[in-house]
Structure 1
């Protein structure tokens, strides 16, 4: 009977701990939801991650408290956990690196779900950000999975963060063409193409001297950019540029090469003297000798 009372007390304390832990988790979830609604600091995805991390921390603390109530020595558990941590850390070094990078990405927020980004050459729409990896879907419909430690060390280009994107199309016109007239024609084209913003104003600037043409660069902006909208707008500009230049009689030249030649009359001459060689015959002399 004497030993039953401590056991009942320990059991009651355990029940109180479990009930308090569950109630605390509910309060914690409500507090995080309210904070996320009142502030832009957390998006829905970050809210879920923060709650899961804090939930694990609360459950771990409750578990240790329960072990203490039942008299389990925590010192030996700490030593065992230390050795286990070393083994797990060595075996899962890259995974832990991705985990840490995932937390950094979630709070640094270089991009959000739905953004159109390029990460070291891979381009697509972000579909998911976990604490281990980032997932994108490219224009071909393929899913790209990139570990977060790779993302954190990569060059990330967010094409949707400013809600607009500048595009360019190079156009070559003949060297005999009036360049200023070509600029005016291309400027009118950019003003009329659907999807091209009027502000910032489209520009047409001479860019370089090509092998066969003077290269003009058409610069223009689109809003709410995406890979599909970029492709469609550039295609529309190319079609309208070709039509307008044809109507204006301005030629888009084919690749050209200019060949120059000169007439040879005497062939290679060698100085006279011992061991002197005869002059190299010309083509006409060679034909007569046949």
Structure 2
């Protein structure tokens, strides 16, 4: 009996293996046949996507060229062009899905996209947050390409604003890639929002000098500086009593970029120093007066052996 059972098992083993192989072959053949039967629809879907790509590229180019001739600001033009491209691609993908899968209707496609968008939104929350922040930045136009901005210790020139990130070139040369949500949620200083910026320095004259005369000398020195704007006019006020000088606050307006600020500050400091020196007005060094509780005794020490000639 054991021999008979083993022989039956050995005979059935090849049969079961052959059945599995045949089943796999049949499955692969059905998949291939279904793919071949469905390939025209797949090809049409690919053609629709290629057509969508061409339409999006042509439409964005034409609209961008037409808007460039208008007086619309650059950030709003870029936003409209990008929204147009996104809209064309959404319509094209819907058409490609309906052509590739004929059983899909627009209602089912939109419903499926709604469910997928919710899942994708939770999975890629940060990306979508930066995307919508970029749209709001382009729409509200707080700054444009070429502006100098400062945000949370990052200072530089805006090179490009995309829907996800903003490229900032720092004055030292480094490129900072800042997420749009970072710029949207934090205070941003737009340094070039106006065509001029105010610069303030503190100078000082000795206590023995005539302060009114020193203010007039500084005013004339600023009038000879090419980088100082005539309007609004410079403001010069004695500020207070310093440790060794009368402190004078000097404020003026100049061009807004960082290099303009440095250039103007250097010219003004040089002009004030030269004008005060020419007028004989002392810019004092720090003075220090030492007061002792008891008088000091002065003693004359002589070398032993007398004087030496």
Shorter-chain TM-score: what band? 0.7 to 0.9
Q: Report the number of matched residues.
A: 255
Q: 44-53 or 124-133, which moves further after superposition?
A: 44-53
Is 1:50 aligned with 2:80? no
TM-score when scaled to structure 1?
0.74
Q: Aligned partners of 1:55, 1:39: CA distance in 2, in Å?
A: 25
Partner of 1:146: 178
Q: Aligned partners of 1:49, 1:216: CA distance in 2, in Å?
A: 53
Give the deviation of 1:30 after TM superposition: 3.3
| The one of 84, 109, 112 aligned to 2:141 | 109
Instruction: Indicate how the Cα distance of structure 1 residues 147 and 17 shifts in structure 2: closer, same or farther if over 3 A, else same.
Output: closer
Give the deviation of 1:40 after TM superposition: 0.9
Unmatched 5+ stretches in structure 1: 1-6, 265-290
User: Which structure 2 residues correspond to residues 154-193 of structure 1 after superposition, within 5 A?
Assistant: 154-193=186-225
Where 2:133 maps in the other structure, the secondary structure is: helix
Partner of 1:245: 276
Is 1:90 aligned with 2:122? yes
Q: Aligned partners of 2:291, 2:62: CA distance in 1, in Å?
A: 83
Q: Aligned partners of 1:88, 1:54: CA distance in 2, in Å?
A: 19
Q: Aligned partners of 1:120, 1:22: CA distance in 2, in Å?
A: 39
TM-score when scaled to structure 2?
0.70
Which of 1 and 2 has greater Rg? 2
Q: 15-24 or 226-235, which moves further after superposition?
A: 15-24
| Bigger fraction of residues in helix | 2
CA contact (8 A) 1:126 1:136 kept: yes
Q: 79-88 or 118-127, which moves further after superposition?
A: 79-88
Where 2:142 maps in the other structure, the secondary structure is: coil
| The one of 238, 263, 270 aligned to 2:294 | 263
Is 1:125 aligned with 2:157? yes
Q: 49-58 or 243-252, which moves further after superposition?
A: 49-58
Unmatched 5+ stretches in structure 2: 1-37, 296-309
Q: Aligned partners of 1:260, 1:80: CA distance in 2, in Å?
A: 87
Give the deviation of 1:221 after TM superposition: 1.2
Partner of 1:66: 99
CA contact (8 A) 2:98 2:105 kept: no
Instruction: Indicate how the Cα distance of structure 1 residues 65 and 209 shifts in structure 2: closer, same or farther if over 3 A, else same.
Output: farther
Deviation sequence 1:44-99 (CA, Å, 0-9, x none) = 5335423322222332342354357x113677766765564444333322222111
Instruction: Indicate how the Cα distance of structure 1 residues 255 and 49 shifts in structure 2: closer, same or farther if over 3 A, else same.
Output: farther
Instruction: Indicate how the Cα distance of structure 1 residues 23 and 261 shifts in structure 2: closer, same or farther if over 3 A, else same.
Output: closer
User: Which structure 2 residues correspond to residues 209-228 of structure 1 after superposition, within 5 A?
Assistant: 209-223=241-255, 225-228=256-259
Where 2:69 maps in the other structure, the secondary structure is: helix
Give the deviation of 1:146 after TM superposition: 1.2
CA contact (8 A) 1:21 1:62 kept: no
CA contact (8 A) 1:137 1:143 kept: yes
Q: Aligned partners of 2:46, 2:179: CA distance in 1, in Å?
A: 41
Where 1:38 maps in the other structure, the secondary structure is: coil
Q: Aligned partners of 2:59, 2:120: CA distance in 1, in Å?
A: 33
